[in-house]
Structure 1
Amino acid sequence: MVERETWATRVGFLVAAIGSAVGLGNLWQFPFKTAANGGAAFVVFYLIAVVLIGFPAMLAEFVIGRRTNRNVVDAFDELGGPGWRILGGLALLTGFWVLSYYNVVGGWVMRYVLGSATGAYFGDPGGYFNAIASGPEAIAAQLLFLGISVGIVALGIENGIEKATKVMVPAIVVLMIALAVWAFTLDGAMEGVSYFLSPDIDSLVSNAGAVVPDAVGQAFFTLSLGMGIMITYASYLGEDDNLPLDGGIIVVSNTLIGVLAGLVVFPLLFANNVDPATGGPAALFVAVASAFANLPAGQILGVVFFGVVALAALSSAISLLEVTVSYATDNFDVSRPVLSVSAGVLLFLLGLPSTLDTGDAGGPSVWFGWFDAMAYNLFLPLSALFIVVFVGWLLAREAVSELRTGSESIPSFGPIWLWSLRTVVLVGIVVTLGLGFQSLFLAEDATFFAPF
């Protein structure tokens, strides 16, 4: 078996974990989940979900990974016995499933970088998206994006993922700050800021039942939880790392970049009279592209914006791919490059339905929405639920002991964290899973049956 790698530095781990979290969940979904759920009211619930549910759940994954220094499947085997391997397999499957259609979105982003440079979508942003969202062009773009991800992961932890994310993440932050500063100079920008950051108390109360599940789901998606990523990344850590501190840095950084994304997108939309509630997978591409099409320097700004989104997408894609490659390198005497390419081939095949041509109207395949709904409403919360139960009850004291290692200065934190897993986090995930199950299988327009 190939010798297991580790992070070269603690900063390398933090940047890679932040890069995983700061992906399309922040730059693609967060602004438009906000718009679809009433603006600032959603932001409030999302921030609460991140602190009370996302942060403790992330520490649960850290504990499993560092305790075992194993991949996501073997980690559960070591801690709970062979019967628990199925839980690690579920997390691995969830990440693989998400990445299969995530690559399709990554391909869209790369097409929009090119489309911004040439001004190809300026005349008809909606028509341009429909033309490239499915069919041969979508397949080719998906393959290109996937190939870059495979190449980075094939180079390894230190020489591939760590070096790549050390460039990507700072570039994302610097460019997003620059775009936010520029967006504030646009006429009408402050209306967008108010929509994004000024919650209506009545809206908070009246829409809580509908908004909370989306907010919790978004917290898990943007923090890369339930997919084995944080277990895998933590498995390359040493015992001297302070897990609560590292988790806090990752959560705060991820949240700030999500807010930055909103401070770019909403001022841009309001300044150009574009409806912020434009929904669906086309939202980022059609709505934001429409705004760039109306600006004097739209080509340059479009390249910068979609370039940032491309970097964010890649930083998350390589983390999702690493979960599978980590498992394979721990269990098969095959080189990392060969395993990375093999995983890439399987991902390409699984992602093909999400690129299927939908006919004359074009646009995303109905299968794309199906894959996304299955991940968001079932696989992610189900995987997270089992992980929380495993750590909160089966490991319990062992988990608290592991959390304290490297963070002895805060001895009272461990019991509080364990209590939160068993109560607040558990209830939040169960409610989210129940509502997601209803949406998939029991609602009048049940999502699960849409493609059939």
Structure 2
Amino acid sequence: MPNQPREQWGTRAGFLLAAIGSAIGLGNIWRFPAVAYGNGGGAFLLPYLIALLTAGLPLLIMEYTIGRKYRKSPPAAFRRLARPAEAIGWWQVGISFVIATYYAVILAWAVRFVGFSVGQQWGADPEGFLFGDFLRVAEKPGAMSEYVPGVLWPLIAVWVVVLVILAFGVRRGIEASNKIFIPLLVVFFLILVVRALTLDGAEIGLDAFFSPDWDSLTDGSVWVAAYGQIFFSLSIGFGIMVTYASYLRRRADLTGSALVAGFANSSFELLAGIGVFATLGFMAASTGGEIGDVSGGLGLAFVAFPTIISEMPAGAFFGVLFFGSLVIAGLSSLISIVQVVVSAVQDRTGMSRPVAVFGVGGAVAVVSIVLFPTDTGLYFLDSSDHFINQYGIAVAALASVVLVAWMVRKLPMLQRDADATSAVMLGHWWKICLGVITPLGLGWMLVDALRQEFDENYEGYSTGFLLSTGWSVVIGTLLIGILISLIPWKQADKDAQLDQDALNEGKS
């Protein structure tokens, strides 16, 4: 089948909204506030900003440049850099496949909690409601024994929406939906934050969030947390930005786009921190207590916030805004994650977009629907998410940086390509960051994570369970990526010629 003409974004604003929509996800709302609070409060913003400037933005610019230059999904784009590097691209596709399967489930929960907020159906015990009445979680990990209809049906609805949007294509589907999603998300969240700031006790929460612990800056784990937050929140390291940039026009401003997307993402994280802690301050004032340890993730969103919503005036309105924001932020991110898989298969097989979306995207949906809306789905989700985030994304990002900066030494070529169309020129800092600081930051983060991993089993799960649902997922995506990269494809001869052209261009 002949190659389809490459789709393009309709406008630069459309691309930026899609990139920002991909970066702003569930983690911005429930992960950043807890990470910042637990790592020095206001003082954390310094290592966070340094991590953004020395690792996040440089890596984002590198992925934009690779995507636009080669106008392909990650496997084909990395193949142009070096034939064996195609495995890194398929590895990233595998990571996106895994993340999409469970990310959609959390969206399904948020959809249900929009409705639960109206009547505050979680009652006086939101934790018992979440894990018992709603998710029906089994007492311990093991074989699934029942499906949970209250999760299954909204999950199917989420997948229908995602696949329909993707089927419309890059411009009429992804770009058009993000032109609705992102302004709506900003409006929702601004109203939510303003409401939170007017609550009694909001200043208690803000004081807890922003009070700096300057001594924490001498703690290496705080810097590891800052780099980790940047890598996980910018959608870098698992192929999304390479894929999105492949639909850019040749003269698109890469550096300026990366700066806008990067700082927009960080600004939203800061806004989320203000909203979350103003709300937690209200709860502390209502109960006469203090803001103690704040855990992020599911506990913050689906236990702590329902508890607070039940106590505040007009809580139903606040709950609809909060969980509605989670749904919108999650949808824009999920669409970008599935697009990585769809684009990679399209590039390799020449499939039409509808066939790729409903065939390959449908396969992701089927895995999601089979595994996760069950009484043991939460355990699978927790383990898979922990390992794929800690080791899959980080190691894949490290491998891509080492390949480009150290092995094929294409940073000077990529810098020339970016500078040719960008308003902000990349200086020596960009090559120093990618050649030294980013690899060291990622490496340090991985060593620290592994040290903690071997000290004690994650969440006290059995070694067998972690091996079967965590480590096997991470290692499996890598092995599958390598195996797929070894399969001969119909367009191998054409790709080989393109590889040679790229090599000659790099030497010139």
Matched, 1:289 2:306: yes
Structure 1 residue 285 displacement after superposition: 1.3
Structure 1 residues 410 and 315, CA gap change in structure 2 (3 angstroms):
closer
Q: Which residue of 1 aligns with 2:265?
A: 254
Q: Which residue of 1 aligns with 2:230?
A: 219
Which among 379, 388, 395 is matched to residue 366 of structure 1?
Answer: 379
Local SS of the residue matching 1:123 = coil
| Alignment deviations for residues 291-314 of structure 1 (CA, whole Å, 9 cap, x no partner) | 111112111111111111110000
Matched, 1:436 2:449: yes
- Give the superposed CA RMSD: 2.0
Instruction: Kindly indicate whether the alpha-carbon contact (under 8 Å) linking 1:44 and 1:199 is maintained by their aligned counterparts in 2.
Output: no
Alignment of 1:311-326 (within 5 A): 311-326=328-343
Does 265-274 or 30-39 show the bigger shift?
Answer: 30-39
Write the distance in 1 (CA, Å) between the matches of 2:280 and 2:113.
17
Structure 1 residue 102 displacement after superposition: 0.9
Does 72-81 or 270-279 show the bigger shift?
Answer: 270-279
Q: Which residue of 1 aligns with 2:413?
A: 398
Alignment of 1:2-41 (within 5 A): 2-41=4-43
Does 171-180 or 69-78 show the bigger shift?
Answer: 171-180
Structure 1 residues 332 and 105, CA gap change in structure 2 (3 angstroms):
same
Instruction: Kindly indicate whether the alpha-carbon contact (under 8 Å) linking 1:278 and 1:287 is maintained by their aligned counterparts in 2.
Output: no
Which among 430, 439, 445 is matched to residue 457 of structure 2?
Answer: 445
Which among 148, 172, 178 is matched to residue 165 of structure 1?
Answer: 178
Does 174-183 or 274-283 show the bigger shift?
Answer: 274-283
Structure 1 residues 33 and 346, CA gap change in structure 2 (3 angstroms):
farther
Matched, 1:230 2:241: yes
Structure 1 residues 264 and 276, CA gap change in structure 2 (3 angstroms):
farther
Letter in 1 for 2:411: A
Structure 1 residue 128 displacement after superposition: 2.3
Write the distance in 2 (CA, Å) between the matches of 1:444 and 1:333.
47
Structure 1 residues 33 and 122, CA gap change in structure 2 (3 angstroms):
farther
Letter in 2 for 1:29: R
Identity of aligned residues (%): 34
Structure 1 residue 280 displacement after superposition: 4.9
Does 321-330 or 391-400 show the bigger shift?
Answer: 391-400
Instruction: Kindly indicate whether the alpha-carbon contact (under 8 Å) linking 2:39 and 2:216 is maintained by their aligned counterparts in 1.
Output: no
Q: Which residue of 2 aligns with 1:149?
A: 162
Letter in 2 for 1:303: V
Write the distance in 2 (CA, Å) between the matches of 1:252 and 1:68.
26
Structure 1 residues 200 and 11, CA gap change in structure 2 (3 angstroms):
same
Letter in 2 for 1:245: G
Letter in 2 for 1:97: V
Does 34-43 or 84-93 show the bigger shift?
Answer: 34-43
Write the distance in 1 (CA, Å) between the matches of 2:329 and 2:417.
31
Local SS of the residue matching 1:227 = coil
Letter in 2 for 1:357: D
| Alignment deviations for residues 154-203 of structure 1 (CA, whole Å, 9 cap, x no partner) | 11100000000011111111221222122111111012112222211123
Alignment size in residue pairs = 441
Structure 1 residue 276 displacement after superposition: 5.6
Structure 1 residue 390 displacement after superposition: 2.3
Q: Which residue of 2 aligns with 1:75?
A: 77
Does 226-235 or 43-52 show the bigger shift?
Answer: 43-52
Structure 1 residue 32 displacement after superposition: 2.7
Write the distance in 1 (CA, Å) between the matches of 2:267 and 2:163.
28
Instruction: Kindly indicate whether the alpha-carbon contact (under 8 Å) linking 2:306 and 2:319 is maintained by their aligned counterparts in 1.
Output: yes
Structure 1 residues 239 and 251, CA gap change in structure 2 (3 angstroms):
same
Q: Which residue of 1 aligns with 2:324?
A: 307
Q: Which residue of 2 aligns with 1:389?
A: 402
Instruction: Kindly indicate whether the alpha-carbon contact (under 8 Å) linking 1:184 and 1:267 is maintained by their aligned counterparts in 2.
Output: yes
Which ranges of structure 1 fall in alignment gaps of 5 or more residues? 359-363
Matched, 1:109 2:110: yes
Write the distance in 2 (CA, Å) between the matches of 1:402 and 1:379.
29
Q: Which residue of 1 aligns with 2:477?
A: none
Instruction: Kindly indicate whether the alpha-carbon contact (under 8 Å) linking 2:204 and 2:281 is maintained by their aligned counterparts in 1.
Output: yes
Matched, 1:85 2:86: yes
Letter in 1 for 2:10: A
| Alignment deviations for residues 94-146 of structure 1 (CA, whole Å, 9 cap, x no partner) | 22222221111111111111111232124322122113345413333332222
| Alignment deviations for residues 342-363 of structure 1 (CA, whole Å, 9 cap, x no partner) | 23333234434444414xxxxx
Matched, 1:342 2:359: yes
Write the distance in 1 (CA, Å) between the matches of 2:456 and 2:449.
14
Does 149-158 or 45-54 show the bigger shift?
Answer: 45-54
Letter in 2 for 1:436: A
Structure 1 residues 88 and 434, CA gap change in structure 2 (3 angstroms):
same
Structure 1 residues 123 and 450, CA gap change in structure 2 (3 angstroms):
farther
Local SS of the residue matching 1:378 = helix
Which ranges of structure 2 fall in alignment gaps of 5 or more residues? 138-146, 285-290, 467-508
Determine which structure has more spread, i.e. the larger CA radius of gyration: 2
| Alignment deviations for residues 382-405 of structure 1 (CA, whole Å, 9 cap, x no partner) | 111011122223212211111212
Letter in 2 for 1:200: D
Local SS of the residue matching 2:465 = coil
Structure 1 residues 78 and 41, CA gap change in structure 2 (3 angstroms):
same
